[in-house]
Amino acid sequence: MEYFVQQLINGLTLGSIYGLIAIGYTMVYGIIGMINFAHGDIFMIGAFISLAVFLLLTSVLGFAFLPVVLLIVLIVAMLFTSAWGWTVERLAYRPLRGSFRLAPLITAIGMSIVLQNFVQITQGARVKPLPPQIRGGVTVMQGSTEAGTIVVQLSYMQMIIIVTTLVLMTAFTLLIARTSLGRAQRACEQDRKMAALLGVNVDRTISLTFVMGAALAAVAGLMFLLLYGVIDFYIGFLAGVKAFTAAVLGGIGSLPGAMLGGLLIGLIEVFWSGYFTVEYKDVAAFSILAIVLIFLPSGLLGKPEVEKV
């Protein structure tokens, strides 16, 4: 039981990170109907920028008060990663709007390769370890088995991740539901041409969608860096595919769906490694992707897609 609760906590933490990335996939898919394959690498870019800002602040400028440092890292990383997201859209996707359907997907794959190799060349291929910054936590449960006592711990790091995710999720749901930008996004999602006729700046709306997705991916990147403490140029690939799985599982195009899917994928991965084999945890995630797409193509919370001729 204690083991189960601990895994549940770990799963929710991991799932929050996946959920944050998945929102970027789901928003872009909702609005222009393409898989932004490079989004996982935007997450990786976010993690690298976070690391650089963190090191700049702590070891070069000598800031020591951790909450302020982390807040500055978060804001700077969000800003700079957004710039990356915006540029990727501008260079690789906008010129191809209205081209045949596979074209943007192929540039997205190209962009993903470019980002990975750019980071590999400029930052080196070796992993970057960052010692844990936030230590400690609270004990939730305690139990004893034959093997000894098991302590279920909820670390401060995990609390921060879950709370931040909740706050951001609420903020984004409100943004989509209440603001004029959100309205424009929903309008573009339904009918781009009509939205343009009614005075919505479609290009700007799409750009902002990419910017928002990238900002959330930057948050996820920072969380990943702080939680695992190890990043390299390749983390975006696996995290990207899993987050995409999460978006599909929750129903692509749906914001709460992305979060739900993220949590489910995180839980599945953690429980699979906890109770079966660690080696095949990625196989589990990938198989779920295939199974969901085959049997439940519109996901848990998605609307079934109507094919227009």
Partner 1 sequence: MASSTTGVKVSGKKPAGDQAETPSRGHAPSPAGPGGGSRFQGSLRDAATAAFVAGVLGFFFIGLRTDIAPGGLDIKARWTAWIVSILVVFAGRLALNLFVFKAERPVTLGLAAQLSGVGETLPGLSKWLVRLLLVFALVLPFFLMTVFPSKQRQFIDLAILIMTYIMLGWGLNIVVGLAGLLDLGYVAFYAVGAYSFALLSQYFDFGFWMALPLAGLLAAFWGVILGFPVLRLRGDYLAIVTLAFGEIIRIVLLNWYQFTNGPDGISGIPKPTLFGLEFSRSEDGFAAFFGLEYAPIHRFIYLYYIILALALITNVVTIRLRRLPIGRAWEALREDEIACRSLGINTRNTKLTAFAIGAMFGGFAGSFFATRQGFISPESFSFIESAMILAIVVLGGLGSQIGVVVASVAMIGGIEMLRNLGFLTQIFGSGFDPVQYRMLIFGLAMVLIMVWKPRGLVSTREPTAVLKEKKRIGAEAVAQGEGH
Q: Say whether residue 135 binds partner 1 (CB under 8 A).
A: no
Q: Which long-range contacts (CB under 8 A, 24 or more apart) does 63-66 make?
A: 66/133, 66/134
Closest distance of CB 19 from partner 1, Å: 18
Name the residue nearer to partner 1 (CB basis): 57 or 270. Answer: 57
Closest distance of CB 104 from partner 1, Å: 8
Q: Which residues lie below 8 Å from residue 276, measured CB to CB, with a gap of 6+? A: 284
Alpha-carbon gap, residue 220 to 20, rounded angstroms: 6
What number of chain residues touch partner 1 (CB under 8 A)? 75
Binding residues for partner 1 restricted to 67-96, rule: CB under 8 A? 80, 83-84, 87, 90-92, 94-96
Scanning 64-72, 121-129, 170-178, 213-221 for contacts with partner 1 by CB under 8 A, the matching segment is 121-129
Among 68, 132, 178, 297, contact with partner 1 (rule: CB under 8 A) = 297
Structure tokens, 101 = 């359907």
- Count the Cβ atoms, other than its own, within 10 Å of residue 126: 9
Q: Say whether residue 134 binds partner 1 (CB under 8 A).
A: no
Beta-bridged to residue 153, according to DSSP, are 139
Q: Distance between terminal CA atoms of the chain?
A: 53
Q: Say whether residue 279 binds partner 1 (CB under 8 A).
A: yes
**Cα dihedral: 15, 19, 21, 24 (round 10):** 170
| Alpha carbon 133 to its chain's center | 22
Query: Angle at the Cα of 172 (from 253 to 284), degrees rounded to 5?
Result: 50
**Residues 141-180, mask of contacts with partner 1 (x by CB under 8 A):** ----------------------------------------
Binding residues for partner 1 restricted to 196-215, rule: CB under 8 A? 196, 201-203
Binding residues for partner 1 restricted to 8-67, rule: CB under 8 A? 34-35, 48-49, 51-53, 55-56, 59-60
Is there a contact between 10 and 278 (Cβ–Cβ < 8 Å)?
Answer: no
Name the residue nearer to partner 1 (CB basis): 52 or 159. Answer: 52
Closest distance of CB 98 from partner 1, Å: 1
Binding residues for partner 1 restricted to 219-278, rule: CB under 8 A? 237, 241, 244-245, 248
Scanning 145-153, 164-172, 267-275, 283-291 for contacts with partner 1 by CB under 8 A, the matching segment is 283-291
Closest CA to 182 of 193, 194, 163, 195: 195
Q: Which residues lie below 8 Å from residue 187, measured CB to CB, with a gap of 6+? A: 194, 195, 198, 200
Closest CA to 32 of 236, 169, 175, 203: 203
Closest distance of CB 239 from partner 1, Å: 13
Among 66, 68, 71, 113, contact with partner 1 (rule: CB under 8 A) = 113
Name the residue nearer to partner 1 (CB basis): 64 or 294. Answer: 294
Closest distance of CB 256 from partner 1, Å: 21
